[in-house]
Structure 1
């Protein structure tokens, strides 16, 4: 048996980097396909695996090591519940743009909830700051304040003008890092900048819809250096909540969790309960309205039809 790490998954084939440093293309062992699993992909990028390689250098994945974490989204496949985007992450980076295109608070908050639920540290990066006018800066500051109050780290960056790239590189050193965001947020452009030899495709912004065109089809991992890996993800419209108990949802909003101790009821849902501290702070403008709206949307409307129509964005 050989050990390796999955760098690319196309659904049928997996590109695996062996401990020796060489790459091999592998298939999945049949037993994984026969198991009753709730995900569309039993093997994901970032998985550590054991492979059997025959005399013809044909490789089969025989075993997946336990994952320390993973990040997940709902699948558009009606027969399955979820799709694992990547596993064994040290950091998730969410690229956000306030304009051209606008990243909706609903998308950001679903990402933060997913990262919070699966114990993945998160860095929110506001990109394209070089094009922000006064109005956009004001909107940016509202975003920043909201996520700082929730306990998340944020930073401003301009890939186009090479602003704060060195700071970003310092933050990702010696980590396996997932880079995500809506199409057009600058994921592939950022990765091309810090790993120039890749020449990843980048998508221009559609003039008709002010949204980026999807350029990444499969999640794929790249070596920034020997100890730092970056995972480029497909442009994802939204994250669904998979296997979540809605009564626990507020626990994945850190600022709500801190206020729960002051609510009248220990199981307060922060919707319309008397003596709710979240609603109290909301009425005093001490709690983000958009964060609460995102929470209500996830609590009340997280249905497959809404997910597929992207109604919550």
Structure 2
């Protein structure tokens, strides 16, 4: 299974926040994980659930999980996105077998997926649902976000930013910063703050 890191997930989430798109985290392939990997998933899930994101552990080969995801999609246009090899096309095939999307085996040497979807494509499903299948990606760029607004797309930062001493606090070197205090007392995950600093340091119109 190709590894997925906090920073990769966070880039998706802040983009979804910026465009007011509901994001749900699906931890797929749970039937293939070792106990150690399951504990890591549990740790990641805890971080995002604490913020308020909906998270689910699933397997594309368990009918109850597939039915559950199908219900989430009813009446909506949904998009599955993530690294190559995380099982996006397999999950869609389980939801709608008639689509018969191509899938490939993970590269044993590099632990990376091999591209099977080469462009985004939308399909109509039962239940007035639509699904967009996207190519697997190795990196995710964040576009057109100014440094001053970046923190607003971290919900846990936005919630307490009015407690910062300065109205224009960037949560880096400023004194009496509520966000930094949150990191210190562990009410804000260190991984999230690290993602924020990485994006802030890139300081370009296109952060990749």
The superposition leaves residues 170-213 of structure 1 with CA deviations (integer Å, 9 ceiling, x where unpaired) of 11101111111111110000011111011111121111110101
Give the distance between the partners of 1:224 and 1:165, measured in 2 at CA.
Answer: 14
Is this contact kept in 2: 1:180–1:233, CA < 8 A? yes
TM-score by length of 2: 0.94
Pairwise mapping of residues 144-293 of structure 1 onto structure 2 (< 5 A)?
A: 144-225=45-126, 227-293=128-194
Pairwise mapping of residues 62-81 of structure 1 onto structure 2 (< 5 A)?
A: none
Deviation at 1:160, TM superposition (A): 3.0
SS in 1 for 2:12: helix
Aligned to 2:29: 128
SS in 1 for 2:115: coil
Give the number of the structure with larger relative contact order, counting CA–CA contacts within 8 Å between residues 6 or more apart: 2
The superposition leaves residues 251-288 of structure 1 with CA deviations (integer Å, 9 ceiling, x where unpaired) of 00000101102111111111121101111121122211
Change (3 A) 1:302 1:155: farther
Deviation at 1:238, TM superposition (A): 2.4
Structure 1 residue ranges without an equivalent (≥5): 1-99, 308-313
Pairwise mapping of residues 5-20 of structure 1 onto structure 2 (< 5 A)?
A: none
Is this contact kept in 1: 2:80–2:88, CA < 8 A? yes
Aligned to 1:115: 16
Change (3 A) 1:213 1:303: farther
Give the distance between the partners of 2:66 and 2:111, measured in 1 at CA.
Answer: 25
Change (3 A) 1:127 1:226: closer
Is this contact kept in 1: 2:152–2:158, CA < 8 A? yes
Give the distance between the partners of 1:147 and 1:306, measured in 2 at CA.
Answer: 22
Provide the alpha-carbon RMSD of the alignment. 1.7
Is this contact kept in 2: 1:159–1:193, CA < 8 A? yes
Q: Decide which structure has the larger Cα Rg and report it.
A: 1
Give the distance between the partners of 1:175 and 1:306, measured in 2 at CA.
Answer: 29
Deviation at 1:123, TM superposition (A): 0.7
Give the distance between the partners of 2:27 and 2:127, measured in 1 at CA.
Answer: 27
Give the distance between the partners of 2:139 and 2:13, measured in 1 at CA.
Answer: 12
Pairwise mapping of residues 99-114 of structure 1 onto structure 2 (< 5 A)?
A: 100-114=1-15
SS in 1 for 2:145: coil
Give the distance between the partners of 2:84 and 2:181, measured in 1 at CA.
Answer: 37
Between structures 1 and 2, the one with greater strand share: 1
Deviation at 1:161, TM superposition (A): 3.6
Structure 2 residue ranges without an equivalent (≥5): none
Between structures 1 and 2, the one with greater helix share: 2
Is this contact kept in 2: 1:110–1:238, CA < 8 A? no
